[in-house]
Structure 1
């Protein structure tokens, strides 16, 4: 922990950019050595300016200590570029972040077929339906779905991955405790439970327009491919696609109507050589031999019609559920049966308690709860707590 304060000092020191920090690490080896170097030694670093060397004379560690305290309070940990767990795939891009804040369980990215799914915030119902379906298909076939946590396409793809019981990864352009946009707070919590949240910004860092294009290099850097689901001609998603190409990654896109402004960027990407995707395996077949133990075409599934965006948009009468019914009558899976029997009709239960009591992996618990809620068999309360609406007959 004591060494981390020097990492945080270097990462948060004003007047430096990430490339300067990386150059200092190459020259000195560790942030602690940078901290104790004098100005003459600092000026020997390739590319450093006198102004930057003078900025490094600020040896105040109070901000670093405050961040360490915040991370402990918020259950976040810090991963540095010199840690063995730091993904080699990300380390090898031009401008890797010196450190990452992490909440959740970090997958072994170098062994995963991770796919960044991006698109416009101002998406259409077509785009949302495609993103959910593809996120679900990618995750069910064994891929890791990476998103930027934005409203629209990013959120829809993440929801699809979570519904499939897969691993979702969210890369934020702010502190992991800030929840931007606010309506995605529940999504943040679900991803932290079933996958991992990442940011190069410390707790409390507010969203800033400059952060998001910078964040995009992490999305594509963690992934073997970037999939653009819906994007107009001017879109941050196209910036991510361009960054992916610069990093030597593959780019795929979902086609849209030729007269749809929201699909103009995707259609142009396809014209310029991006892979055309209409289902998850269109993309994953390119990596099946590279990740034979991870990807399985026979497991790539379509999102159930009762769960998709289009189904939720239908103006239908609420489902009439009897106060008690058998598991067979309700068409429940084994996971859903276990969870429904653990839930009480009056006292809400926390997700963490359900995970502990059931012994079912977190991703499967979240997926089963989502299906039960959509089917009006359970009710969600504030704080991700649940009660049952129907009781099971023995």
Structure 2
């Protein structure tokens, strides 16, 4: 029942990782609610202090939040629901519970791009954000942003102007408008897409919420785009989270003497993709979402090859080298990833994480080493194939 999900999510003094460990151990928040102290202490990483927090069985607050959600038309999405995005599920620290207002997209089927940047932006930054938000939506992508003042709001306005969908992830309750001047933008985004938060209605915007929110922004997306960011900016936190999650990072270049562009220029120097228009990003995912994306000037995505064309003989392919994992001194993680991969069909990092059960950080580290050893091939959109044949 949803009241138990709210109860577990709102218990003070518990880290999200503790909640995830409890769900893994007990299977449901209701089972956690009725568990005794001795059994709770068997949960991985559980301390007596944390276990004591679970003695609070007052459901009044949860019932109040549930009633408020019904009044506002807010739906609740738990980590165990089928509609919970697999992309988000596979990050290191996925939220146990999300509050949603509007229509939740099927994120795993979308070329979603997290567009972020500074609140203290320049006219150049605003113009770029609106142009890129418009272009991403126009070409079939999905703009995800934070609804903060500045770059976030400009990107969402651009997406809405193209009659596209948009998603905003908030660091406060969905009934709290922040900043206040974004009231109409809130309503427009909810109508054209959805608003998402891991915080219940009534939660005020607190500084510590926004870095936490950033992991959801990047976790829902295939890439993160930083439009304008000074040397120290929350947008760079989103970029760091995206890299940690195995997402691609792009940035808009700015004048070398512009303080608002220092962060973006550094990202590009360190390997982020340079962006001057939306297709600079989306072309990387055209093969992954052929029925969604279309280049500027095209009226529709290119059709899939069907019928007799699919039966044409393929040219002979070279035989891949035979590799014995033990003889090469490969780790268990590297061997498991190689065995999970296909030689022909590129696989997403998220799919490899799910198939092997290896944590995201270890998967990314192992893939990097395998690529250096030329045992795997990386394709656009962070997809991988095995470059060798394994000896059984």
Please, what TM-score do these two structures have when normalized by structure 1?
0.75
1:27 corresponds in structure 2 to 25
- Alignment partner of 2:204: what SS? coil
Q: Count the aligned residue pairs.
A: 299
Q: Write out per-residue CA displacement over residues 51-74 of structure 1, whole angstroms, 9 at most, x where no aligned residue.
A: 110110111000000000000001
Please tell me whether residue 61 in structure 1 is matched to residue 52 in structure 2. no
SS of the residue 1:297 aligns to: coil
Number of the residue aligned with 2:250: 252
SS at match of 1:69: helix
Distance 2:13 2:227 in 1: 37
**Partner of residue 268, structure 2:** 270
Moved more, 194-203 or 292-301: 292-301
In the alignment, does 2:100 pair up with 1:102? yes
* CA distance in 1 between partners of 2:47 and 2:149 (Å): 40
Q: Write out per-residue CA displacement over residues 261-314 of structure 1, whole angstroms, 9 at most, x where no aligned residue.
A: 10010000000000000000011110000000000003589xxxxxxxxxxxxx
1:1-394 alignment, distance < 5 Å: 3-299=1-297
1:217 is paired with a residue whose SS is helix
TM-score (norm 2): 0.76
1:157-178 CA distance string (max 9 Å, x none): 0000000011100000000000
Q: Runs of 4+ in structure 1 displaced over 3 angstroms? A: 298-301
Query: In the aligned structure 2, how far is the partner of 1:151 from the partner of 1:48?
Result: 39
Deviations 1:161-215 (A, max 9, x none): 0000111000000000001111111111000000010000000000000000000
The verdict on how the C-alpha distance between 1:46 and 1:235 changes in structure 2, with shifts beyond 3 A counting, is same
- Say what the alpha-carbon RMSD is for the aligned residues: 0.9
Structure 1 pair 39–149 and aligned structure 2 pair: CA distance change class (3 A): same
Describe the SS at the equivalent of 1:298: coil
Instruction: Extract unaligned runs of 5+ from structure 1.
Output: 302-394
